[in-house]
Amino acid sequence: MSSVSATAASPVRGPAGFKRPATATVYRWELRKLVSQKRTYLGLGLAMILPLIFVVVQSLRTRQDRGGENIFASQITHSGLATPVLMLLFLSVFMLPLIAALVAGDIVAAEDGNGTLKTILTRSVDRGQLFAAKAFAAMTYATIAVFAAAVVATAAGVAAWGFNSVTTYSGTVVSASEGLLLVFASNACYLIPLFAVASLGVLLSTVTRNSAAAVVGTVGITILLFIIGQIPGLEGIRPYLLTEQYENWHGLLRTPTDWAPIAHSAWVSALYAVPALIAGYLVFLRRDVAGG
Amino acid sequence: MPGTRATEDAAGSAEAPPVRARGLVKRYKEVLAVDHVDLNVQTGDVYGFLGPNGAGKTTTLRMALGLITPTEGVVDLFGRDPMREGAHALEGVAGFVEAPRFYPYLTGQKNLELLAALDGSGAKERIGEVLQIVELTPRAAHRVGGYSHGMRQRLGIAAALLRRPRLLILDEPATGLDPAGMRDMRSLIRRLADEGITVLLSSHQLPEVQELCDRVAIVDRGRVVYEGALADLRRQGGAGYRLRTTDDARALTIAREQRGIEFPAVGEHGLAFQAEEADVGGLSLALGEAGVGILALTPELATLEDLFFRLTDNDGAGDAGPAHAVAAPTADEARLVETP
């Protein structure tokens, strides 16, 4: 081992004066940490590979009957813009919440387990700033995953079947450019309940201090809510289940636009997200940091 | 060196001591990890926080840095309570508890850049300088995941220096280092102290404390059993003498009759006893009058190790508590606490 210098330049000393970093700075470093971890790319890879598989398989199919009940399924070979809509439909139930949970459930617990939480909490950053930065970073990751899937699905769909007009749920034919706008607006709407999933992940990450438990717990909650939504006799609570908000974007694909499900999903999702974030914040402020 | 003390304008209070703990208690359900600990680290101290493993040292340091909440009591850093004032209370304070931890997937340089960003105040411009101080410049571009334990310890010191600390809190900084690494770590700490940085050093390595520290607190089973100057502790811990004579058996008889000569005994290397300096003179005269020649008379101060084991009762010597083993220090600030 090379030795510690006892003769090098004069040690750095003297007060620097207290200056708390901006929360945006802490947030940027949370993103840089995410970018530097291989695990980050696992979720993004999953989000992007599935649309590619879908397009390849559909392109190889010889049967023309791709109909089913969904109007976009029947348009797969007519317009590449049907692909991102179908992929959002498929991925929104399980895969995208899982991807969001992968990072949200890990973002506090991993640092606690590795001991790096105590490293950064002995700097000039307040706990509240750090929690906010981590929550924003988790949501940023969820956003990137959703749009990565959308971009790949759109590109692959258009490459395979063309950039053509598409028929919406209300039977209205919209131009390709308007369809493209609607695709990305739909993905943006889907982020509303997905942020609530991420918030639950951050809460569990903070409370459990265990990445695996937090990720599994978050996914478990969404599965539980999904199952509850399928139980006959519980129709009364179904509109208030988080998993029921995953299809809020369908309102955008109607003419005229039906904003009601989007507005409904916004406040229902907030009912899950806000208490989760407040609880996580309070736990984070008061918790003993002794891990690592 | 007091003359090189940094200006105090950034401190919570210019007069406030670097560390002042009063009645610190940390209880984990049935386990009392820290039991009413008081600490007084003064400006310029190299303060040793000594104790066996599990004595409560790290828990106390965690409370000092605001990482865990005391069950009772308060600890102030330069007059500021980390539990109430958060990061602001850590102004001018740096260090690490247990081993310093970094992001293994980032390089040493990137880790320091991250920490500098969280410090603000131009810390980023000092990265090159602190890397040079700990001699990690050649490895700065390598991922920390590939660093040795010693390199991580040094990176921990570098990270602390980024903050331009006036108080450096180090928890077992030499643990896991090879002998050369230990020696160099001590040199660095000594040098930082000479530059005017107050150091609170937790350790169970007695030579390290003996070499570096001027004041100590010894903690055992969560309680401080001694706090004060190391020199006072050693002086009070039984200043002894070893005597070789032409007739040790007769010298022993004479010593037993002399006022102020305590615990005389003949051993392999002559006669050993404890006494005040003035009483040793009386013994010398008595031996001369009796015709016993003195071949050698040497003072023997108790080692820190002796005192540590007496205070922490770790030698299995029985129930004699530290109050029986070591007399109370004479220094005003020194404090001896009865063990339960």
pLDDT at residue A67 above 80? Answer: no
pLDDT of residue B13: 56
How far is residue A226's CA from residue A83's CA, in Å, rounded to a whole number? 24
B40 and B187 part of one domain: yes
pLDDT of residue A39: 86
Residue from the list A6, A17, A125 with its beta carbon closest to the beta carbon of B191: A6
Please state the pTM of the whole predicted model: 0.82
How far is residue A80's CA from residue A162's CA, in Å, rounded to a whole number? 5
As for how many domains chain B has, the answer is 2
Minimal CA–CA distance to A50: which of A79, A102, A91, A78?
Answer: A91
B58 and B135 part of one domain: yes
Q: Which domain, by its residues, includes B215?
A: 2-228
Interface-testing mutation among B77, B115, B118, with chain A (most A C-beta atoms within 10 A): B118
Question: With an 8 Å Cβ cutoff, are A4 and B135 in contact?
Answer: yes
C-alpha distance across the termini of chain B, in Å: 38
pLDDT-derived band at B320, boundaries 50, 70, 90: very low
**CB burial class (10 A; 0-12, 13-18, 19+) of residue B293?**
exposed
**CB burial class (10 A; 0-12, 13-18, 19+) of residue A233?**
exposed
Cα A185 to Cα A100, A271, B14, B118, B167, distances in angstroms: 19, 23, 58, 36, 53
Residue A137 included in any domain: yes
Residue A6 included in any domain: no
Minimal CA–CA distance to A12: which of B119, B81, B87, B101?
Answer: B119
The per-residue pLDDT for range A179-188, each reduced to its tens digit, is: 999 999 999 9
Residue B59 included in any domain: yes
The per-residue pLDDT for range B189-228, each reduced to its tens digit, is: 998 899 999 999 998 888 888 889 999 999 988 899 889 8
pLDDT of residue B332: 36
pLDDT of residue B238: 61
- In this structure, how many other beta carbons lie within 10 angstroms of the beta carbon of residue A225? 19
SS3 category, B333: coil
Question: With an 8 Å Cβ cutoff, are B135 and A8 in contact?
Answer: yes
Residue B324 included in any domain: no
Residue B111 included in any domain: yes
Cβ-contact A7, B194 below 8 angstroms: no
pLDDT at residue A4 above 70? Answer: no
Q: Does A78 contact B at CB distance below 8 Å?
A: no
Q: Which residues of B touch A32 (CB under 8 A)?
A: 110, 114
pLDDT of residue B313: 65
Of B171, B203, B228, the position where a domain reaches its end is: B228
Cβ-contact B103, B111 below 8 angstroms: yes
Q: How far is CA B7 from the centre of its chain?
A: 25
A–B: how many Cβ contacts below 8 A?
Answer: 188
HSE, side-chain direction, 13 A CA sphere, residue B84: 9
The per-residue pLDDT for range B93-123, each reduced to its tens digit, is: 999 998 899 999 999 999 999 999 998 777 8
Residue A210 included in any domain: yes
* Closest CA in chain A for residue B162: A12
Q: Which domain, by its residues, includes A94?
A: 30-286
- In this structure, how many other beta carbons lie within 10 angstroms of the beta carbon of residue A103? 31
Residue B320 included in any domain: no
CATH classification at residue B246: 3.30.70.100
> What value does the mean pLDDT of chain A take?
90
Of residues B336 and A97, more confidently modeled: A97
B272 and B191 part of one domain: no
Enumerate the H helices of chain B as residue ranges: 57-64, 82-85, 108-119, 127-133, 149-161, 179-194, 206-212, 230-236, 248-257, 277-289, 304-312, 322-325
B146 and B53 part of one domain: yes
pLDDT of residue B239: 64
pLDDT-derived band at A166, boundaries 50, 70, 90: very high
The per-residue pLDDT for range B241-250, each reduced to its tens digit, is: 889 999 999 9
- In this structure, how many other beta carbons lie within 10 angstroms of the beta carbon of residue A281? 18
Mean pLDDT calculated for residue range A89-107: 96
pLDDT of residue B276: 80
CATH classification at residue B163: 3.40.50.300
B36 and B110 part of one domain: yes
DSSP element (H, E) containing B39: strand B31-41
B39 and B188 part of one domain: yes
- Sequential DSSP letters for B265-329: EEETTEEEEE--HHHHHHHHHHHHHTTPPEEEEEEEPPPHHHHHHHHHTTT---S--HHHHSPPP
SS3 category, B243: strand
pLDDT of residue A88: 96
Residue from the list A9, A10, A118 with its beta carbon closest to the beta carbon of B67: A118
Question: With an 8 Å Cβ cutoff, are A116 and B102 in contact?
Answer: yes
Mean pLDDT calculated for residue range B273-289: 88
B152 and B106 part of one domain: yes
The per-residue pLDDT for range B8-55, each reduced to its tens digit, is: 444 455 578 999 999 999 999 889 999 999 999 999 999 999 988 888
Interface-testing mutation among B114, B130, B167, with chain A (most A C-beta atoms within 10 A): B114
Q: What is the 3-state secondary structure (H, E, C) of A38-94?
A: HHHHHHHHHHHHHHHHHHHHHHHCCCCCCCCCCCCHHHCCCCCCHHHHHHHHHHCCC
Residue A9 included in any domain: no
HSE, side-chain direction, 13 A CA sphere, residue B221: 10
Mean pLDDT calculated for residue range B174-196: 87
pLDDT at residue A209 above 90? Answer: yes
Residue B327 included in any domain: no
As for how many domains chain A has, the answer is 1
Residue from the list A13, A20, A33 with its beta carbon closest to the beta carbon of B164: A13
B244 and B218 part of one domain: no
Q: Which residues of B touch A34 (CB under 8 A)?
A: none
Radius of gyration (C-alpha) of chain B in whole angstroms = 24
Q: Does A63 contact B at CB distance below 8 Å?
A: no
Residue B60 included in any domain: yes
Minimal CA–CA distance to B302: which of B281, B272, B257, B332?
Answer: B272
How far is residue B40's CA from residue B75's CA, in Å, rounded to a whole number? 10
| Interface predicted TM-score of the whole assembly (ipTM), two decimals | 0.86
Cβ-contact A86, A154 below 8 angstroms: no
Minimal CA–CA distance to B274: which of B235, B220, B319, B245?
Answer: B235
**CB burial class (10 A; 0-12, 13-18, 19+) of residue B30?**
exposed
DSSP element (H, E) containing B262: strand B262-267
B158 and B196 part of one domain: yes
How far is residue A58's CA from residue B236's CA, in Å, rounded to a whole number? 88
Residue A11 included in any domain: no
The per-residue pLDDT for range A264-286, each reduced to its tens digit, is: 999 999 999 999 999 999 999 99
* Closest CA in chain A for residue B148: A1
How far is residue A203's CA from residue B8's CA, in Å, rounded to a whole number? 40
How far is residue A257's CA from residue A249's CA, in Å, rounded to a whole number? 10
Residue from the list A3, A118, A288 with its beta carbon closest to the beta carbon of B184: A3
